[in-house]
Amino acid sequence: MVYATADATAREKLRVGMVGGGRGAFIGAVHRLAMRLDDRIALVAGALSADPANAAASAAELGIAAERSYGDYHAMARAEAARPDGIEAVVIVTPNHLHAPVATAFLEAGIDVICDKPLSTTLAEAEDLVALARARRRKFVVTLNNTGYAMVRQAREMVADGALGRLVAVHGSYIQDWLTRPIDAEGHKQAEWRTDPTRAGQSAVLADIGVHAYNLACFVSGREAEAVAADLFTAVPGRRLDDNAHVLVRWSGGARGTILASQTSPGHYNDLSVRVYGEKAGLEWHATRPEELRFAPYGEEARTLIRGGHGSTEASRRVSRMPAAHPEGYIEAFANLYRDAADIIQAHRAGAAADAAQESLVPDVVQGARGVRFVAAAVESDAAGGAWTPASLAVDRDAS
Amino acid sequence: MVYATADATAREKLRVGMVGGGRGAFIGAVHRLAMRLDDRIALVAGALSADPANAAASAAELGIAAERSYGDYHAMARAEAARPDGIEAVVIVTPNHLHAPVATAFLEAGIDVICDKPLSTTLAEAEDLVALARARRRKFVVTLNNTGYAMVRQAREMVADGALGRLVAVHGSYIQDWLTRPIDAEGHKQAEWRTDPTRAGQSAVLADIGVHAYNLACFVSGREAEAVAADLFTAVPGRRLDDNAHVLVRWSGGARGTILASQTSPGHYNDLSVRVYGEKAGLEWHATRPEELRFAPYGEEARTLIRGGHGSTEASRRVSRMPAAHPEGYIEAFANLYRDAADIIQAHRAGAAADAAQESLVPDVVQGARGVRFVAAAVESDAAGGAWTPASLAVDRDAS
Amino acid sequence: MVYATADATAREKLRVGMVGGGRGAFIGAVHRLAMRLDDRIALVAGALSADPANAAASAAELGIAAERSYGDYHAMARAEAARPDGIEAVVIVTPNHLHAPVATAFLEAGIDVICDKPLSTTLAEAEDLVALARARRRKFVVTLNNTGYAMVRQAREMVADGALGRLVAVHGSYIQDWLTRPIDAEGHKQAEWRTDPTRAGQSAVLADIGVHAYNLACFVSGREAEAVAADLFTAVPGRRLDDNAHVLVRWSGGARGTILASQTSPGHYNDLSVRVYGEKAGLEWHATRPEELRFAPYGEEARTLIRGGHGSTEASRRVSRMPAAHPEGYIEAFANLYRDAADIIQAHRAGAAADAAQESLVPDVVQGARGVRFVAAAVESDAAGGAWTPASLAVDRDAS
Amino acid sequence: MVYATADATAREKLRVGMVGGGRGAFIGAVHRLAMRLDDRIALVAGALSADPANAAASAAELGIAAERSYGDYHAMARAEAARPDGIEAVVIVTPNHLHAPVATAFLEAGIDVICDKPLSTTLAEAEDLVALARARRRKFVVTLNNTGYAMVRQAREMVADGALGRLVAVHGSYIQDWLTRPIDAEGHKQAEWRTDPTRAGQSAVLADIGVHAYNLACFVSGREAEAVAADLFTAVPGRRLDDNAHVLVRWSGGARGTILASQTSPGHYNDLSVRVYGEKAGLEWHATRPEELRFAPYGEEARTLIRGGHGSTEASRRVSRMPAAHPEGYIEAFANLYRDAADIIQAHRAGAAADAAQESLVPDVVQGARGVRFVAAAVESDAAGGAWTPASLAVDRDAS
C-alpha cells in the first residue's frame, strides 16, 4: 500500500488569500491547519478582520506581507486580481451572511473560491452564486469537510458501485449538546451569532449542523432530497432561532429517510452520522469514530471496515496518509479537501482537462446551494404545518 | 444487594391457560420460558391450536390434562370459568386479529387477561377492550415485554425522578432486516401473516415492531404521543403492507421526537432503542445490549450504567437476579412481566389493595390501546400526505 | 431456524437433590433458575444447609418433601440410594472445600454428580475424584458454566473445524472489582470464605475466577496448559490470600498465552474474556456481551457474529432459544449445561450409548481436575520465583 | 476553551535537518507531516538516503537547498555545525541500528537530537548516549509518539494527581497482524529489516512495537519496570527473530503487570492499549480510539472521557486543537511532540530555564534508554527460562 504521504514541497503551491479568520476566530485557524498538512497551499494575502488592528496583527502572525493585508474584501479582490503574483483562490471563513457577497466579489474579479458552509443564508444568493460561477467559469469549493474522510469516500464509492443494491432508506443525523443551556443569552460569542437570524439565516440548527448531516447523506448516497416534511423547534425558552430539527425526506431515486439535527442533546458533542440501507446491504458511519465503516451485506455478518485495513478500497486508500489503526481525523479529512482543491484549481488555471472523478468528490457551488435549498425547504415545510415541500434545486430539476 | 432469585415454589402459583402457542408457534414457547423461570405460574389449560390434532399433542407435551385441552377458546372460557380450580388468567398468543375476540370472551367469563401485543388490529376493538376490562374490573396485562428490562425500568425511574429535567426530545427506533427480501411471497409462514392486511392490521411494520418502539419511548419518558406526522412505505415491490415507517411525534408535555421502524435494514436483527434528552441530561438504551444504560448529565462525562452495578437504582435492583455483568436478557425481562403479573392478579383476586407503583410498571389494556391508537394515527397521517394527526387515546384525553 | 424452545414437560424429568444452597446462599439459587428454564429437572431432595432450621425451611420453600430434607449429606446419599424413586444426580453447591467429600459420598452411593467449580481445593482430591468416577462409571458434570454460552460453543467449533488454522496464542482473562477494598475484613460473608485458605484453597483469585478464565480458554482452544509461570499477589494489605494472578502459559500443541485474574480492578464487574489467534484468523469473546463473537480472518475485515444471526453455526443454533438480538445471557448458558447434563445422565442410566459430541461440550471431572491442576501449578510456580512449572494432569499425560 | 490552534508563523522556526527518510521511506514522511502541522519547524538540511541519487532527488522535492543535501551524516554534522544558519536539531529516521551512531555524531557536533524509537539496538549504545547527551548538555527527544496523545497526557496527569490512589496493576499491549504470514521471507522490505537481527536488534517484536507498549505504560503510570519475566517466541516458522512477547512485569513502587506484543494476531492492526488499576479507580486507553479515556472510580459508574469534552483536564486541553468529537489522531499526537520539542530546544539554545513540567511530557534519552533496557532484560529473561530479571536502568538505580 502506498500512502498519500508524499511530500509536495517541490510542486508549485496554490496561492490563496483569506477573508475572515483573524485572531480569536475558530474556523479560520482550522482551515490553516488543514492547508499546512500537505504543503500545497501558500497563504499570501488576507482581509482577516473587520477590525483593522486585528487584521494587521493577524496577518503579521501568519507571515502575510503588510501590503497584502487588506482592510476590506473589495479592496483585496481588486488588488490581488491586478497583481501578477496575485492569489489564485480566496478562502472565505466569515460569518454565514457574508459568504455570498464576498464570494461574489472574488468571482467577479476572476478569482476561484473556497468557501466555508453554508454557502449562503438565502436561497436567492445561493442560486445567484451558481449562476455567477458558471458564467465566469470559476472553480468554487464549499468546505463541507466531512466528505474528506477516507471512509466516507469509501462509503460513497461502495454505494455507487452497487454494493448496497437499490437504495431503500438514507438517514443523516448531527447531534450536539453545546446549546443545551441558554449560553447565547449569556454572552457566548460563537453561540450568539449562530442563533441570530440576521447573521445565521432562517434556521440556526440546520444552517450550522443540519447541512452537514444533509450533505453527508447526499454525498454517500449519491441522492438529493426531492421533498421534505419538517418539524423545527426551539428547546431553550427565549432563544431566537430553532435548535432542533426533525425532518422526513423523500430522496431522488425513491428512497426515504430522515435528517435529524439537535444542539440540545446532552451526551453528544459532534455526533454526525449517516446510515444507508439498500436491498443488498446496509452501511453506517459515525464522525466520532471516523476510521470505521460498518458494512452489513444481507445474509452475512456485519463487518467493521477500517481505513487502511483489509477491506479498504481505492477511494479510501487514495486519501490515507497512515497505516490502519494509526487514526486520522478531522484535520486530515479537511486537508484532503484542500489537496483536491489545489489539484482542481491548478489544473483549471493551467487549462488542463478536469479530472471528473476527483471533482465529483469535492463539494462545489451546486452542492453548497443544495444545502441552502434543503434548509429553505425545511423552514417552509415547518411553517406550513409539516407539509411535504419540494426540496430540489432548480439546476438539478433542469438537469433531470 | 439482595437478588431477586428467591425461589417461589412454596407460594401458590397463578393458574393460567393459553390460547394459541401450539407446536410450531414461536411466541407461545417464549411465554412459557418466561413463565417457568420464577416458578410462579402453572399452565393448566389451553386451546393451543385451531388444528385439533396439534392442539391435543401440544397440550400433552406441556403436561396439560386432556380434559383441559379445548378445541376452541369459547369452550375454554366457559368451562374454565365453571371449574372451582379454573384458570385465573388466560395468556393470548394468537395472531394479532384474534387478540380482541379472545380477550373479550375471557373478560366476559370473569377471567383476567395476559395478551401479547398489539392489543388489537383496529382502534375500535382496542377502545372496546378498555371499556370492557374496566366494566368487569378485570386485570389486563399486555406483554409489551421490553418494559421488563431492568435498565429500562431504571431509565423510567430516572426520568420520573427528574434526573433529565424538562424533556426536550424522545426518540424510539426498531430496526430489523428479516423482510429485506420478499420472503412473504415465498412461503415464509411468519412473514406471510405479518404482511397480510386481514391478519396483521393496517400497518405491518408498526403493528409488529413499531408499537414496541413507541411503547418503549412512552414507558421511559412517561409521555404519550399527542400528534404524529408519518411517512409509511413498502421497500419490497409487491408486498401488501408497509415494511418501513418514519414518524415525527409531538409528545404530551411538549417534547418532540421520532419513531422509526424498519424491517428491511441489513445489519440489524432486533435493534430496538430509545433516546431521551432533557435540559439536564440525556439517556440511551439499546435492546441489543440491555444491561447497559448510557447516561450523560449535561456538563459531565457520559457514564455507562450496568445492571446490578454501582450506578444501579432500586428500580433495576428489584428485578435483578444476577450480579452485574452476568448478563440477563430477553427471557428474564419477559419473566419480570410474568412475576409482576402474578403478583397483581393474585392480589386483585384476593381483594387486596393494588400496589400502584408495581402496576405502573406493567403495561395494561390502556397502554395496549395507546399502541393501537398510535398505529391508527400514523396510518391516517400517511394517507393524508403526512399531515399532523391527533394520536392520543380518548381515555387519556378525557383524563387530562 | 428452529429454536431450542421446545417444551420438555412431557419428557421424564431428571430427579436431583441438592447439597448446599439454602436460604441466603447465592449460587444454589442460580442453579435452580437454570434448572427450571427448560423444565427437564425435578428437585426432590436436599441437604440444603448445615443449620437444621435453615435446611428445613429452605426445603419447604422449594417444595421438597420433609422426609427428603436431610440433616447431612451422608444421610442423604444413603437414603436416596435406597429409594426406588431416589435421586439420579446430586447437585453440589457448597463452599469449595466440601466439593470433594460430598461428591465422593454420592459417587460411592452410585449417584451421578453435578458439582459447582472448582472441583476441589487440593489436587489430590481432584485426582481421587477422577479415579473414583471412572471406577464407579458415574457421570460427573462440573458446572464451568461459561461453556454453555452459544457463542462460546460456536467459537470452540470454529477452532476445532480449522477456521483459525494452527493456533499461535490463547489468552484468558477474568477481571473484577469487588475485592478492591478490604471487605473480607469487614464482615462480608461471601468475601470472607473466598479469601480464607481453609475454605477456598491455596489461591483465592484462581480458585474463584481464574479457573473460569482457564477453563474457557481450554474449552475454546481445545488445548490444556503444559506449563505455567505465575506471578500471584495480594493488592489489599492484610488479605490472607492472593487477589491477582498474572500467569504465562505454554499450551499443548505449541501455542503460548496468558491467564489473568484480578478481583481489584475498578471498572470491571465480571469481565471474563478469551482471545485465540491462529495463522489463519483470530477470534475474541467477552462474557459481558455474550451474544457477540468477533471473528477476523487474516486478510479480511473483522466480523461481529451474533448468536442466531447470519454467521451462526450449528453449535450455537442448537442452544439458541431466541432469534438474534433478543439477547440470551448467563442463566440461559447455565441452563444449557443442565439440559445437556439431563440428556447425558438419563442416557447413561438408561444404558444408551453416549453421544460423544454432546458429552465433549459439558465439562466433566477431568476438566474440573485440570482446573485444580492449573491452580496448583500456578501456586507452585509463584512460590518458585515464577519458574516454568508443569501443569498438565496425570491422566492427560498418560493419554498423550 | 481556547484551542491550541494559534498559528505560529511569526515565531522563529526551529531549523532541523533529517537523516534518513528519503523517497520510499515510511516514517520520515510521517515526521514531516507532524512537523508541518503547527508551522514551528523548518526542514533545511538532510542526508536523506545512502543512495546519492535518491538523497538528491528527495532533498529537491522537499525544498532543501542542494548544498545542504549531504551524502552522509558525518559530513552533514560537520558542515551544519559550521554554518551560522546551521540546523539546531537533527531528526533521525534511519533503520534502528543507525540511531546510535548518527545521534553520536550530531551530539558531538553540538546539535540537539530528535530520534525515532528505539533509541538503539544495544543497551551499551543506549547508556553511552545518555552519558554523551548529559556531558554535552544537549537536548535529546525520542519520538515515542503515543505520549503526544491528549488523552494519554490526561491519563498520566490523573495518575500523578492521585485519582487512582496507590497503583496495583499496570498493563500495556500492542497487537498487530501484519507479520501473520511470512512476508519477510517474500521480499517485503519493511518486514525484512525489522526481522533481521543485524538491523533490528535482539528482539524484533519488542524493538518494533513492544517498546511502545512499555513506554506508554511507563508514561501513564509514572513507573519503570524493576524486573521482568518473559516468554518470547516466533509464531512463523523460519522467521529469524521473535514476533510475539508475553512479559510479566514488577513495576517500581510495587505494582505488577504485563506487557504483551504480537505481530501475528489477525483482527488487529495497531492495537496499542494501556490499563492502570489503583485502589481508588481504574483507567483504560486504546490507540485505535484515541479520543476516549475510560475512567472508573471504585464504587461509581465507569465514564468515557472525551478529548475536549466535559471531563477533560488541563493536560489534554493544552494539546487540543479541535473541539470534542472532531477527532484528532496519530499525526496530531506526533505533532504535539514536535511542538514541545521546538519549545524545549529553542528555550535551551536561548539559555532560558527549562520548563520542567513540559519537559516531563516529552520522552528524552533516558526514557529511550529505559525502553532499550526493557528489551534487553526481556531477552535475557527469556533465555534464562523466564527467570525474573532486573530491568531498571543504571541511571535510575543510581537516582533512587
Q: How confident is the model at residue D2 (pLDDT cuts 50, 70, 90)?
A: very low
Q: Would you call D58 an interface residue with chain C, using a CB distance cutoff of 8 Å?
A: no
Structure confidence at residue D332 as a pLDDT band (50, 70, 90)? very high
Cβ-nearest to C10 among B33, B60, B308 = B60
Residue A384: phi and psi, rounded to 5, are: -95, 25
Condensed to tens digits (0 to 9), the pLDDT of residues D80-132 reads 999 999 999 999 999 999 999 999 999 999 999 999 999 999 999 999 999 99
Chosen domain end from D145, D173, D190: D145
CB B133 within 8 A of CB B108: no
Model confidence pLDDT, tens digit, residues D163-213 = 999 999 999 999 999 999 998 888 888 788 778 888 777 888 999 999 999
Last residue of a domain, which of D113, D145, D177? D145
Contact criterion met (CB < 8 Å) for C235 and D294? no
User: Do A298 and B388 lie within an 8 Å CB cutoff?
Assistant: no
- The answer to whether residue A130 is domain-embedded is no
Amino acid A56 reads A
* Range A109-147 burial, b when 16+ CB lie within 10 A, else e: bebbbbbbbbbbbbbebbbbbbebbeeeebbbbbbbbbb
Residue of chain B nearest C38, judged by CA positions: B33
Going through D287-388 in order, the beta strands assigned E by DSSP cover 292-297, 302-306
Residue A187 lies in a domain: yes
Tell me the chain A residues in contact with residue C309 when contact means C-beta distances shorter than 8 Å.
301
CB within 8 Å: D298 and C385: no
| C256: contact with B, CB 8 A cutoff | no
Q: Is C101 exposed, middle or buried (0-12, 13-18, 19+ CB in 10 A)?
A: middle
DSSP B237-253: TT-SS--EEEEEEEEGG
Asked if the Cβ–Cβ distance from A303 to C302 is below 8 Å, we say: yes
E-only strand ranges, chain B: 14-19, 41-47, 89-92, 112-115, 140-142, 167-175, 225-233, 244-251, 256-262, 271-278, 281-286, 292-297, 302-306, 389-390
Q: Any chain B CB within 8 A of the CB of D304?
A: yes
What is the DSSP-derived secondary structure letter of residue C364? B
Nearest chain C residue (CA) to D182 = C279
Interface contact D387-C385, CB threshold 8 A: yes
pLDDT, mean of residues A266-293? 98
Predicted confidence at residue D1, as pLDDT, reads 40
Neighbouring CB atoms inside 10 A of A104's CB total 18
Are D131 and D214 found together in one domain? Answer: no
Residue D326: band (very low, low, confident or very high) from pLDDT cuts 50, 70, 90? very high
Q: How far is C74 from chain B (nearest CA, A)?
A: 25
The DSSP line for A224-249 is -EEEEEEEEE-SSTT-SS--EEEEEE
- Looking at residues A273-283, what average pLDDT do you find? 98
Contacts A279 to B, Cβ<8 Å: 180-181, 235-236, 264
**pLDDT, block means (10 residues), chain C with 400 residues:** 50 94 93 96 97 95 96 97 98 95 98 96 96 97 97 98 98 97 86 79 89 98 98 94 97 97 97 98 98 97 95 93 96 98 96 92 97 96 96 73
Mean pLDDT of A88-94: 97
* Strand-strand pairing, D140-142 and D112-115: parallel
Beta-carbon separation of D298 and C231 below 8 A: no
In a shared domain, residues D173 and D92: no
Task: Categorize the per-residue pLDDT at D362 as very low, low, confident or very high, splitting at 50, 70 and 90.
Answer: very high
Q: What is the Cα–Cα distance from A7 to A321, expressed in whole angstroms? A: 11
Q: Which of B158, B222, B153 has the alpha carbon at shortest distance from B4?
A: B153
CA separation for the pair A30, A333 (Å, rounded): 11
In this complex, do B6 and C29 lie within 8 Å of one another by their Cβ atoms?
yes
Q: What letters, b where the CB count within 10 A reaches 16 and e where it falls short, cover D187-217?
A: ebeebbbbbbeebbbbbbbbbbbbbbbbbbb
Cα–Cα distance, C357 to C157 (Å, whole number): 11
Asked if the model's pLDDT at residue A3 lies above 80, the reply is no
- Mean pLDDT (chain A) is 94
3-state secondary structure of B301: coil
Cβ–Cβ gap D168/C244 under 8 Å:
yes
CA distance A91 to chain D (A): 16
The three-point CA angle B247-B250-B251 to 5° equals 115
Same domain as D157, residue D116: no
Q: How far is A301 from chain C (nearest CA, A)?
A: 5
Q: Where are the alpha helices (DSSP H) in D8-88?
A: 27-37, 52-61, 73-82
pLDDT in the model for residue B5 = 52
The beta-carbon neighbor of A270 closest among D6, D325, D329 is D325
Residues of chain C found within 8 Å of residue A301, distances taken between Cβ atoms = 295, 303-306, 309-311
The single residue listed with the C-alpha cell 450409548 is: C353
Nearest CA in chain C to B176: C325
C299 touches A at CB < 8 Å: yes
Cβ-based contacts of A33 with chain D (< 8 Å): 5, 37, 321
Same domain, D20 and D68: yes
Identify all chain D residues contacting A60, using CB atoms and an 8 Å cutoff.
Answer: 10
Nearest CA in chain B to A302: B267
End-to-end CA distance of chain B: 40
Decide if B303 and D299 are in contact by the 8 Å CB cutoff. no
Domain that holds residue D136: 14-145
Assigned domain for D351 exists: no
Residue A107 is assigned to a structural domain of this protein:
no
Residue window 339-368, chain B: list those with CB within 8 Å of chain D.
none
* Chain C: partners with 3+ C-beta pairs within 8 Å: A, B, D
- Chain-centroid distance, C-alpha C267: 24
CATH number, domain with residue D100: 3.40.50.720
Confidence category of residue A201, pLDDT binned at 50, 70, 90: confident
Half-sphere exposure of A199 (CA within 13 A, CB side): 11
pLDDT beneath 50: ranges in chain B: 1-3, 400
- pTM of the full predicted structure? 0.95
Contacts of B309 in chain D (CB under 8 A): 301
**D317 and D297 co-located in one domain:** yes
Tell me if B114 is assigned to some domain: no
Inter-chain touch D3–A26, beta carbons under 8 Å: yes
Residues ≥6 apart with Cβ < 8 Å to D264 = C168, C169, C277, C279, D176, D177, D179, D180, D235, D236, D243, D244
pLDDT of amino acid D197: 81
Rounded to a whole number, what is the distance in Å from the CA of A4 to chain D's nearest CA? 10
A85 touches chain B (CB under 8 A): no
Domain for residue C374, yes or no? yes
Q: Is the pLDDT of residue A100 over 70?
A: yes
Spell out the residues 6+ positions from residue A328 whose beta carbon is closer than 8 angstroms to its own: A150, A290, A291, A307, A320, A321, A322, D329, D330, D331
Q: Can the peptide bond before residue D290 be classed as cis, meaning omega within 30 degrees of 0?
A: no
Rounded to whole angstroms, the Cα distance separating C78 from C71 reads 12
Which CATH number belongs to the domain containing residue D279 in this structure? 3.30.360.10
At which of D145, D173, D192 does a domain end? D145
Contact between residue C273 and residue C286 where contact means Cβ atoms under 8 Å apart? yes
Residue of D nearest to B312 (CA): D301
φ and ψ at C358, to 5 degrees? -65, -45
Separation of alpha carbons C27 and C5, rounded Å: 25
CA dihedral C341, C346, C351, C353 (to 10 degrees): -40
pLDDT in tens, D269-306: 999 999 999 999 999 999 999 999 999 999 999 999 99
Q: Which residue, among C43, C188, C14, C19, has the nearest Cα to C105 in the 3D structure?
A: C19
Categorize the per-residue pLDDT at D396 as very low, low, confident or very high, splitting at 50, 70 and 90.
confident
CB contact under 8 A, D386 and C386: yes
Q: Would an 8 Å CB–CB cutoff place C1 in contact with chain A?
A: no
Q: Does D70 touch chain B (CB under 8 A)?
A: no
Residues of D in contact with B304 (CB under 8 A): 301-304
Look over chain C and give the mean of its residue pLDDT values, rounded to a whole number.
Answer: 94
| Contact call for residues A377 and A391 (beta carbons, < 8 A) | yes
- Chain A: list its partners (3+ Cβ pairs within 8 Å): B, C, D
Hey, which of A190-199, A296-305, C4-13 has the most confident mean pLDDT? A296-305
In whole angstroms, what is the distance from residue B120 CA to residue B125 CA? 6
B299, B302, B305 ranked by CB distance to D304: nearest:
B302
Q: What is the mean pLDDT of residues A64-82?
A: 97
Which residue type occupies A368? Answer: G
For chain D, what is the mean pLDDT? 94
Residue type for position D328: E
Select from C295, C323, C329 the least CA-distant residue to C309: C323
Residue C70 belongs to some domain of the structure = no
- A333-357: average pLDDT: 95
Q: Is residue C48 included in any domain, yes or no? A: no
Check CB contact under 8 Å for B9 and C61. yes
Q: Which residues of A14-49 are buried (b: 16+ CB within 10 A; e: fewer)?
A: bbbbbbbbbbebebbbbbbbbbbbbbbbbbbbbbbb
Torsion of CA A321, C300, C326, B123, to 10 degrees: 70
Q: Does the beta-carbon distance from A250 to B231 stay under 8 Å?
A: yes
pLDDT of C399: 54
**D interface test, pick of C256, C271, C293 with most D CB neighbours within 10 Å:** C256
Q: What pLDDT does residue B398 have?
A: 60
Closest Cβ–Cβ partner in A10, A36, A324 for D269: A324
Per the CB < 8 Å rule, is A267 touching B281? yes
Residue A147 has pLDDT above 80, yes or no: yes
Rounded to whole angstroms, the Cα distance separating A175 from A273 reads 9
The B residues from 259 to 298 touching C (CB cutoff 8 Å) are 268-271, 287-291
Whether D322 and D393 map to the same domain: the answer is yes
Predicted ipTM beyond 0.85: yes
Q: Which residues between 165 and 204 in chain A have a beta carbon less than 8 angstroms from any beta carbon of chain D?
A: none
Q: Give me the number of domains chain A comprises.
A: 1
So what's the pLDDT on residue D23? 92
Distance CA C168, CA C154 (A): 19
Instruction: Please give the interface size between C and D, counted as residue pairs whose CB atoms are below 8 Å apart.
Output: 129
